[in-house]
């Protein structure tokens, strides 16, 4: 009975989507795009308040600024970003329109046919309660890629299941609508092929993720390039900065928020953790965890704050740096790179089936 209810529910959601696609072709006024200027600001502050569940990921933050106060605008979903992904082109292409007609039916008889298909009895134009036949294009590799990405997004939207069967939890309710999550189809690693970027926050703190998936046209499969807490900044030299979900370092929130740096590795076609970054504020604690005193000799500017890095996967802390040395180090990592604005859109069926 539960499976039937779930199937009928999926059918109802898609029937509404199909009606919108056939009646509103070319209208994009209701599409909401999201900027990558901090994809989870509100989440970060939440992480500070619930600071007892460190999930092991250190992340990047600007010195003296709490990463948790920066990143909720994107998840709020009201940006006017530049991505064309939010455009509703389904009915204009014909394929989605045809599916809409098949799902809509004509009176009671058509409705029964669509409902029967959602319950597993079969009907033309639908499969497992999900649209088919959309996104037809001239590039077969592109078509395969978009089909794969749509399938992933369908699984997340309907069942909260990610590739390889991964689950990050789900907390349905007033503040956890599945459509408050977001995604983008965008060449984030500059390899000439679009990746699927998914931001998932409708779960408990430890389950929140931002993931990048890449399609391999040779193996006909999708591979995960990175999985982080959804407070990300992307740079155009392949560097990614991830703010920590919690601040368990030796500096107060007002002085510094820890972060991690990743670098895109073209040979692996994946992001590799290169360093974690944290700080020590003398006003926060006079000694470190081993009882060593604050390094006055390093703090040349006398502001009571020194920085340090944590090497990759080894989690080993390196030497302390004053503000000037830290700025020089960070400049050497970023190499003058600019931030990339990711054209996020909300995780709705309209936006999923508008992928081209």
Asked, for residue 313, whether it belongs to a domain, the answer is: yes
What is the number of domains present in the chain? Answer: 2
Same domain, residue pair 285 and 337: yes
Same domain, residue pair 152 and 248: yes
Instruction: Supply angle C-alpha 169, 356, 145, rounded to 5.
Output: 65
| pLDDT for 119 | 37
Same domain, residue pair 131 and 146: no
What residues have CB less than 8 Å from 45, skipping those under 6 apart? 66, 68, 69, 72
N-to-C CA span, the chain: 36
CA pseudo-torsion sign 238, 244, 247, 249? negative
Asked, for residue 65, whether it belongs to a domain, the answer is: yes
Asked, for residue 284, whether it belongs to a domain, the answer is: yes
Asked, for residue 31, whether it belongs to a domain, the answer is: no
Same domain, residue pair 298 and 214: yes
What residues have CB less than 8 Å from 349, skipping those under 6 apart? 13, 14, 16, 17, 131, 157
Between the CA of residue 201 and those of 94, 163, 192, 251, what are the distances in Å?
A: 34, 17, 28, 26
Q: Provide the residue-wise pLDDT of the chain in tens; the chain has 356 residues.
A: 434 344 444 555 444 444 444 443 333 433 333 333 433 343 333 333 333 333 433 333 333 333 333 343 333 333 333 333 333 333 333 333 334 333 343 443 434 433 333 333 333 333 344 444 444 445 788 999 999 999 999 999 999 999 999 999 998 766 668 999 999 999 999 999 999 999 999 999 999 999 999 999 999 999 999 999 999 999 999 999 999 999 888 998 999 999 999 999 999 999 999 999 999 999 999 999 889 999 999 999 999 999 999 986 666 788 899 999 999 999 999 999 999 999 999 999 999 999 98
Same domain, residue pair 162 and 304: yes
Range of the domain at 117: 1-25+87-136
| pLDDT for 173 | 67
Asked, for residue 30, whether it belongs to a domain, the answer is: no
Last residue of a domain, one of 136, 154, 169: 136
| pLDDT for 314 | 63
Question: In the structure encoding, which two tokens stand for residue 315, read together?
Answer: 């989690």
| pLDDT for 140 | 84
| pLDDT for 312 | 66
Same domain, residue pair 101 and 113: yes
Among 286, 280, 344, which Cα is nearest to 306's? 280
| pLDDT for 139 | 79
Same domain, residue pair 276 and 316: yes
Same domain, residue pair 49 and 193: yes
Same domain, residue pair 70 and 91: no
Please tell me the distance from the alpha carbon of residue 256 to that of residue 59, in angstroms, as a whole number: 11
Same domain, residue pair 262 and 307: yes
Among 116, 81, 291, which Cα is nearest to 186's? 81
DSSP state of 338: P
CA pseudo-torsion sign 104, 106, 111, 116? negative
Same domain, residue pair 199 and 93: no
Same domain, residue pair 195 and 319: yes
């Amino acid at each position: 009975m539960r499976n039937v209810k779930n199937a009928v529910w999926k059918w109802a959601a898609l029937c509404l989507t199909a009606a919108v696609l056939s009646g509103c072709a070319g209208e994009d006024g209701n599409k909401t795009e999201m900027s990558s200027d901090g994809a989870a600001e509100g989440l970060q502050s939440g992480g500070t308040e619930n600071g007892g569940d460190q999930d092991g990921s250190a992340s990047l933050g600007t010195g003296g600024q709490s990463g948790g106060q920066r990143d909720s605008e994107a998840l709020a979903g009201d940006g006017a970003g530049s991505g064309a992904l939010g455009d509703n082109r389904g009915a204009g292409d014909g394929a989605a329109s045809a599916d809409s007609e098949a799902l809509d039916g004509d009176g009671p008889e058509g409705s029964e046919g669509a409902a029967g298909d959602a319950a597993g009895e079969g009907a033309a134009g639908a499969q497992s309660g999900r649209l088919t036949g959309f996104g037809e294009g001239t590039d077969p590799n592109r078509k395969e890629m978009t089909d794969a990405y749509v399938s992933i997004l369908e699984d997340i939207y309907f069942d909260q299941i990610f590739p390889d069967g991964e689950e990050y939890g789900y907390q349905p309710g007033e503040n956890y609508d599945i459509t408050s999550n977001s995604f983008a189809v965008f060449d984030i690693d500059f390899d000439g092929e679009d990746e699927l970027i998914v931001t998932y926050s409708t779960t408990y703190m430890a389950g929140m993720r931002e993931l990048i998936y890449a399609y391999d046209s040779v193996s006909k499969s999708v591979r995960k390039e990175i999985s982080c807490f959804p407070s990300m900044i992307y740079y155009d030299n392949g560097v990614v900065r991830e703010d920590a979900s919690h601040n368990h370092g030796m500096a107060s929130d007002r002085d510094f928020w820890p972060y991690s740096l990743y670098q895109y590795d073209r040979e692996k076609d994946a992001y590799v953790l290169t360093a974690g970054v944290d700080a020590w504020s003398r006003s926060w604690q006079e000694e470190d965890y081993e009882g060593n005193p604050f390094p006055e000799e390093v703090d040349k500017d006398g502001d009571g704050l020194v920085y340090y890095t944590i090497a990759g996967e080894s989690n080993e802390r390196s030497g302390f740096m004053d503000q000037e040395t830290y700025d020089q180090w960070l400049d050497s990592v970023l190499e003058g790179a600019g931030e990339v604005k990711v054209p996020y859109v909300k995780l709705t069926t309209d936006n999923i089936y508008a992928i081209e």
